[in-house]
């Protein structure tokens, strides 16, 4: 069993040596990356549930808030109804 462990240690040390001898690839920095228009952030301090000016807006936040309000509203009405009976 000690022979097997010794072989595994040798194999792992060989892998580590190969890893430490690896070279880093340098990519050319001459290319200038153009930031698309839709990725630029609008630095307004107002948060909206549904912003029509945002291309990626899909009304998820608005739907979530409406769903939560309807849930609490229906629970409130059921509570009032059950107390009045």
- Confidence (pLDDT) at 50: 78
DSSP 62-83: HHHHHHHHHHHHHHHHHHHHHH
Going residue by residue through the chain, which has 85 residues, state the pLDDT in tens, using 9 for 90 and above. 577 776 777 777 766 666 666 677 776 666 666 666 666 666 666 677 777 777 778 888 889 999 999 999 999 999 999 998 8
Other CB atoms closer than 10 Å to residue 65's CB: what's the count?
Answer: 12
Rounded CA-CA distance 85/80 in Å is 9
Instruction: For residue 49, give the nearest of 72, 66, 69 by alpha carbon.
Output: 66
- Confidence (pLDDT) at 47: 72
- Confidence (pLDDT) at 1: 57
Q: How far is CA 25 from CA 7, 22, 28, in A?
A: 32, 10, 10
Q: What global pTM score does this model have?
A: 0.43
């Amino acid at each position: 069993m000690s022979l097997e462990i010794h072989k595994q240690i040798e194999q792992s040390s060989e892998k580590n040596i190969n890893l430490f001898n690896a070279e880093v690839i340098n990519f050319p920095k001459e290319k200038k990356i153009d930031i698309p228009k839709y990725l630029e952030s609008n630095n307004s301090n107002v948060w909206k549930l549904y912003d029509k000016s945002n291309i990626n807006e899909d009304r998820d936040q608005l739907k979530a808030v409406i769903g939560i309000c309807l849930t609490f509203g229906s629970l409130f009405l059921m509570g009032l109804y059950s107390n009045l009976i």
